[in-house]
Amino acid sequence: MILLYHNGDTIVELANASDFSMEKHHNLSIAAVLVAVAKAYPEEILIWCHQSLNEQLNSSAIETLFHHKKLMLSYNPSHTNFIDQNIGYIDASPFILINKAVTFATWQMSSWVGGIHAEVLLAFNGKIPFDKDFDYFLCSLAKLGMQRGLLCYSEPLLFKQKKDSSLTKPSNYTLFRFVKQHYRTRWVFLLFFNLAVYERKTPFLPFLFSLFYKNRTKASINLDTIRMQSSRKIIDKATLDVIIPTIGRKEYLYDVLSDLKSQSHLPTNVIIVEQNPDEGSQSELDYLTNQEWPFKIKHIFTHQAGACNARNVALKQITSEWVFFADDDIQIEVDFIEKALEEIAVFGVKAVSVQCFQKGNSKKGGVVFQWITFGAGCSFVFADSIKQSNFNRGYEFGFGEDGDFGMQLRNQGTDVLYLPDPAILHLKAPIGGFRTKPLLQWQNGSIQPKPSPTIMLFQISHHLPEQIRGYKTILFFKYYAIQCIKNPILYYIHFQKQWKQSVFWANKLKQQNEV
């Protein structure tokens, strides 16, 4: 472990690097010195820390925190980030609004304290410039790295105790430059538009100057050669419960159970919540009792329809170390569970969502990366991580419960990774569903909400105001092409009414389902 202390402009002290001569590099930027140290010590973890916070650095925790090489950790004790929240106007990911009380996935790195393995840093050498502004360099590296399998986190355990520090707010020049270099060019124009509409600001010069910067997203950065193996023992007993909500899909569910029966790593329990809203109806799943299964089946029958309720009922039945959230119309290979647990052990994480593809589509490759959502029908989660989580009933019969559950995990310090392999074939069964269409509270209103109140519920629950406004702008333009009002003024008035209705019902859903 090499420690680099800096004053914001230059490196002022090196620790544990007696063979490295600072005299030869004293005129270089902090980023350039960091890379030079990486070349000299390619097997070391490199830690940077502002000299004013050196006594707060939690050196004893670093070896444990960096449990594998593809990690970049940082912590910003300030209330503001280097790239301010206006980035939310063009970025709807969960990596913008950081919960600084827990380990939280984000590309928003900080020069106050952080670290990266030298081998990872060398993979970026020559691919991106050594920006003089160290914060900009770190954010750029993380933004590009996350797309290529680098796992980046805000990590409060890097400090012994929290200490608020002031951070100089970057200018609009920095914001527009960052957007131009790390997003598609069209987002620069959309950022300018949103600032003009919602902030009454017209930063022409930052917008214009940003167009001259070269985009960095196509840089040929390859992290695949870096060996991966977490030192964390994330799996102990390797017992697994499978949760399956089902309704009217007897044959498909049987095929799912047959696939589970053939697994090289058998589940301990399969928890099936069967729904049939018809009063007086009984279970149609006779094969659960008249056939032998190599695992215990916990079968719950209910007249209350709804996937959120069904999964919450199943969550109360969990007794194993791990949970596999599954759908009732999937196909998996015989080594699916075994492979998934192996990948979990390699990365040392407590939640993963696996690739789910449909018939007629080919399975896609790719790298393991930090996912922006969560799959309620294709995910493995450490059981202890969901003890404080549930599927919000406000999303029942709508969309967004998956993403909301994922955000609950993240806000408790559990990141969600996406695994391209193993994969699930989702059959999208044509039967099943609800025998009677549920009557939504807003269904008979003269002005129908846009977007769906459940989508708006997710927005107001987990996004910054800037992200909500950015979503509104995109929805406004996309919806115009498919609706019948072609007069732009009349359309704008109608859209505003629909948006207002959506906000009203989303807040209603939130109030009705607050615990």
Kindly tell me the burial class for residue 510, based on how many C-beta atoms sit within 10 Å of its own C-beta (0-12, 13-18, 19 or more): middle
**Taking the CA of residue 495 as centre, how many other CA atoms within 13 Å lie in the half-sphere pointing to its CB?**
21
Band of pLDDT at residue 117, cut at 50, 70 and 90: very high
Q: What kind of fold does domain 240-426 have according to CATH?
A: Spore Coat Polysaccharide Biosynthesis Protein SpsA; Chain A (3.90.550)
Whole-number Å distance between alpha carbons of 68 and 117: 9
**pTM score over 0.85:** yes
- The structure tokens listed for 406 are 């994922």
Which of 182, 174, 170, 159 has the alpha carbon at shortest distance from 100?
Answer: 159
**Counting beta carbons within 10 angstroms of the beta carbon of residue 314, is it exposed (0 to 12), middle (13 to 18) or buried (19 or more)?**
buried
Tell me, what's the pLDDT at 515? 46
Which token pair is 248? 């009217």
Strand stretches in 43-176, DSSP E: 45-50, 71-75, 104-105, 113-117, 151-154
- The strand pairing partners of 74, in sequence order, are 114, 154
Task: Summarize pLDDT for 129-183 with one digit per residue, the tens.
Answer: 999 999 999 999 999 999 999 999 999 999 987 666 666 667 899 999 999 999 9
State the Cα–Cα distance between residues 355 and 378, nearest whole angstrom: 8
- The domain locations on the chain are 2-176, 240-426, 453-512
pLDDT confidence bin for 20, thresholds 50/70/90: confident
Q: What band does 513 get if pLDDT is binned at 50, 70 and 90?
A: confident
Q: What is the CA radius of gyration of the chain?
A: 25
Of 441 and 31, the structure prediction assigns the larger pLDDT to: 31
For tokens 């987990």, name the residue: 462
Asked whether the beta carbons of 178 and 87 are under 8 A apart, the reply is yes
The helix (H) or strand (E) run that includes residue 461 is helix 453-462
**Confidence class for position 443, pLDDT limits 50, 70, 90:** confident
- Alpha carbon 434 to chain centroid distance? 31
Tell me the C-alpha distance between 344 and 353, whole Å: 11
Place of tokens 């049939």: 276
| DSSP one-letter code for 384 | G
Q: pLDDT value at position 152?
A: 98
pLDDT for 78 beyond 90: no
Average pLDDT over residues 315-339: 97
Question: Does an H or E element contain 425, and which?
Answer: strand 417-426
71 and 153 Cβ atoms separated by less than 8 Å: yes
State whether residue 28 is helix, strand or coil. coil
Beta strand 11-15 pairing with 330-331: unpaired
pLDDT greater at residue 335 or residue 436: 335
Length of the chain: 515
DSSP string, 300-362: EEES---HHHHHHHHHTT--SSEEEEE-SSEE--TTHHHHHHHHHHHHT-SEEEEEEEETTSP
- Tokens matching residue 299: 């079968």
Confidence of residue 437 (pLDDT cuts 50, 70, 90): low
Sign of CA dihedral 159, 45, 232, 263: positive
